[in-house]
Structure 1
Amino acid sequence: MQFIDLKSQYRALKESIDARIQKVLDHGQYILGPEVAEMEGQLAAYTGSKHAISCASGTEALLMSLMALGIGPGDEVITTPFTFAATAEMIVLAGAKPVYVDIDRDTCLIDVTKIEAKITPRTKAIMPVSLYGQVADMDAINAIAEKHKLAVIEDAAQSFGATYKGRKSCNVSTLGCTSFFPSKPLGCYGDGGAIFTNDDLLAKALKEIRTHGQERRYYHTRIGVGGRMDTIQCAVVLGKLERFGWEIERRLALGDLYAKKLAGLKNVKLLTVRGDRDCVWAQYTVFVENREAVVKALAEQGVPTAVHYPLSLNRQPAYRDDASAAETVNSHWAADRVMSLPMSADLTEAQMDRVVAALAAC
């Protein structure tokens, strides 16, 4: 059993993906070829955003967004410690300080009731993470941000395709950043990402930043990076977009089915999905006690698992913050218990039954 079944997905889309890659090989425009603008147009239309700016990775999307906002040394960015390292990593690389706010234990999303207490005169932005495929409470976050004149950057690396109060993830804040890493809900065959905004000035800045700060060739108006997404990877995403709507429907249905089948197991606690949004399950994650033993037992039954994430960022050596670590008790509780199960649009019910049976036997 595959933890994420990319092979079945490729078989279903092989003809289109192969043809699109061959087209790039034929025209030879490997950097900023026509597929880049075509993909950006489709992504903007899908989310309802005015602008979609492709970039080299979801990680690069975060850094470029911070740079476009002018965030740097002496500034603070509020975020969650229960996320992949890239979230805090880019804040630090921009020269700013990550300020950690604990999560809600039921959803693993940032606890919006604790954000305002962390705002200082140095705070410049809030960076919530749409974890596991569910968007954070963006209306409440945006209201806090507006009150304090802050930007909001949605780290939507895991939630492209998700909906919050009728709006698409990546179009619910100042800037939305997503990843096309192969395992994401919409993935390419390497690294890639995109930034979404409705702000014309930010879009212009981002396009310059991704090409070394160039307004035009060899005329550099700002500090930038080599942040372009290559044309072949954009061709892959275009191929995958052909059945992406179906894949999102499948992810939603499989998430509901998992929940029904796992509901009776006393050794498994489910994540809560709030009623005003959905979850596209980039990872189908549950809570278990004695995780090490459960992971071992499932492996013996041929069921792969993963842990996203085993150590909160404010306990990581590179991003350690002892003061906030004492406050983020829910993040540490979750880090000790989360376990992700096999999930992809091509997961079969028979495979899911194997997973559930293995868990029931633990």
Structure 2
Amino acid sequence: MDKIPLLVPLMPTLEQAKAYFAEIDGNRHYTNFGPLSRRLEQRLANDLGVEQENVTTVSNCTVGLELALQARGLPLGARVLLPSLTFVATATAVSRVGMTPVIADIDAEGWSLTPEIARDATLREHIDAIMPVATFGNPQDPALWDAFERETGIPVIVDAAGAYGNQSAGSAIDVVFSFHATKSLGAAEGGAVVSPDPQRIQRIRALSNFGLDVRSGTLVELGTNGKMSEYHCALGLASFDMWEQVKEDRRELYARYMARLRAACPSLQFQNKPESGVYPLMAVLLPEGKDAISIGNRLSNAGIDTRRWYTPALHQQPALRDCTMVGEPMNANRLAGRIIGLPFFLGINDAQIDHVCQSLAAELES
């Protein structure tokens, strides 16, 4: 059997996207919030059940996180609480805008920063903002975080990079999505910020255009070039044309894959998340005593590509060694070295899934 890759992005073909590219040719508008950008924002708003004024596109999710933090008016050095188990961009976004990451543990079941963990952290440390993560596509509960923000007055920005299709918008919190090629809804590169406050969206839009007031040419704030080009918006619109089928296919694949994993590898553990989610990857927890690096190396010898997702954890990263850690990261330490990403992509067939499951089962039994 040929090597089974970890991920194979599903992006629109030239045929599927060419009508949108032709529009760009006709409009002669290539970036700077062009017609396709506005149309993509409208489709996102419709899909999320919000108004278009509550959405703006950005060049990628990392920039979206940076701008969402800036738009909250937080001071330089503001202390932003993050989960220990997340992609490093969650932390780099905080640092790149002159703020300070503060790292907390995760819950043992959902592998996420919860409002309960955040409340405890605010009793131990001064916290100016919270950035929970929709870990591996597992959505954060917007109602709980809305209540948290209203009760504490602490801004909440959800890093929902890999959770489009699962994560809902809130009535107080902001949410940031990624449309990277590996995500469920892809545009090669891109992202969006969703906020209940249209004024925050306007501020994020201005910050993504360097912080300029374009009417007067005045630099009002120090922003960046964070706009999503019309070409990427064209791909995003073409992906939306496939979205209903993609959601159905990803749900079916996840259910089929999980049934085989549970049957073949009963000692595996799984993140507690909705079974009906639209997931872009498959991350599983090896049993105690098993290591993702050694298992991954042996699976590679069997022609199976794997990855250590979100590890080392943030508090274990050399560049973040000086960050404050709230309490002991017991769950993160217990889980991080045992989480392994398995091949997961639309188009993987049953024979490939069975090879992954049987090879993993053999390694777990050895």
In the superposition, the TM-score normalised over structure 1's length comes to 0.90
Q: Distance in 1 between matches of 2:230 and 2:162?
A: 22
More deviation in 262-271 or 150-159?
A: 262-271
Contact 2:17 2:235 in 1 (8 A): yes
2:89 equivalent in structure 1: 86
Choose from 126, 131, 135 the match for 1:127.
131
Deviations 1:308-355 (A, max 9, x none): 122111221221257627611211222101111122233333332222
Q: CA deviation at 1:122?
A: 4.5
Choose from 71, 75, 80 the match for 1:72.
75
More deviation in 15-24 or 320-329?
A: 320-329
Alignment of 1:286-305 (within 5 A): 286-288=284-286, 289-305=290-306
2:158 equivalent in structure 1: 154
2:63 equivalent in structure 1: 60
2:100 equivalent in structure 1: 97
Q: Distance in 2 between matches of 1:26 and 1:321?
A: 52
Q: Distance in 2 between matches of 1:159 and 1:196?
A: 13
1:48 equivalent in structure 2: 49
1:202 equivalent in structure 2: 200
Pair 1:26–1:125, CA change in 2 (3 A) = same
Q: CA deviation at 1:36?
A: 0.8
Q: Distance in 2 between matches of 1:358 and 1:332?
A: 26
Alignment of 1:1-362 (within 5 A): 1-6=4-9, 9-10=10-11, 13-31=13-31, 32-50=33-51, 51-119=54-122, 122-162=126-166, 168-171=167-170, 173-189=172-188, 191-217=189-215, 218-264=217-263, 265-273=265-273, 278-288=276-286, 289-321=290-322, 324=325, 327-362=328-363
Q: Distance in 2 between matches of 1:359 and 1:170?
A: 37
Q: Distance in 2 between matches of 1:350 and 1:49?
A: 42
Q: CA deviation at 1:23?
A: 3.2
Contact 2:102 2:324 in 1 (8 A): no
Fraction of identical pairs, as percent: 25
Q: CA deviation at 1:169?
A: 2.9
Number of residue pairs matched by the alignment: 351
Structure 2 unpaired stretches of 5+: none
SS at match of 1:169: coil
Pair 1:95–1:40, CA change in 2 (3 A) = same
Contact 2:106 2:113 in 1 (8 A): yes
One-letter code aligned to 2:259? K
Q: CA deviation at 1:220?
A: 3.0
SS at match of 1:202: helix
Contact 2:282 2:343 in 1 (8 A): yes
1:165 equivalent in structure 2: none
Q: Distance in 1 between matches of 2:40 and 2:271?
A: 33
Q: CA deviation at 1:108?
A: 1.1
Contact 2:143 2:170 in 1 (8 A): no
Contact 2:142 2:168 in 1 (8 A): no
RMSD value over aligned CA atoms? Answer: 2.2
SS at match of 1:99: strand
Contact 2:142 2:170 in 1 (8 A): no
Q: Distance in 2 between matches of 1:130 and 1:70?
A: 24
Q: CA deviation at 1:139?
A: 2.9
Deviations 1:262-293 (A, max 9, x none): 11314422222158xx5322221001223223
Contact 2:85 2:314 in 1 (8 A): yes
SS at match of 1:100: strand
Q: Distance in 1 between matches of 2:220 and 2:200?
A: 14
Pair 1:95–1:323, CA change in 2 (3 A) = closer
One-letter code aligned to 1:303? I
Q: CA deviation at 1:61?
A: 0.2
Pair 1:173–1:81, CA change in 2 (3 A) = farther
One-letter code aligned to 1:30? Y
Q: CA deviation at 1:49?
A: 2.4
SS at match of 1:243: helix
Pair 1:325–1:150, CA change in 2 (3 A) = closer
Contact 1:130 1:158 in 2 (8 A): yes
In the superposition, the TM-score normalised over structure 2's length comes to 0.89
SS at match of 1:228: coil
Contact 1:213 1:223 in 2 (8 A): yes
Q: CA deviation at 1:26?
A: 4.5
Q: Distance in 2 between matches of 1:101 and 1:347?
A: 36
Q: CA deviation at 1:192?
A: 1.2
Pair 1:336–1:326, CA change in 2 (3 A) = farther
Deviations 1:185-230 (A, max 9, x none): 11122x2111011212111111111111123241333222111011
Q: CA deviation at 1:170?
A: 4.1
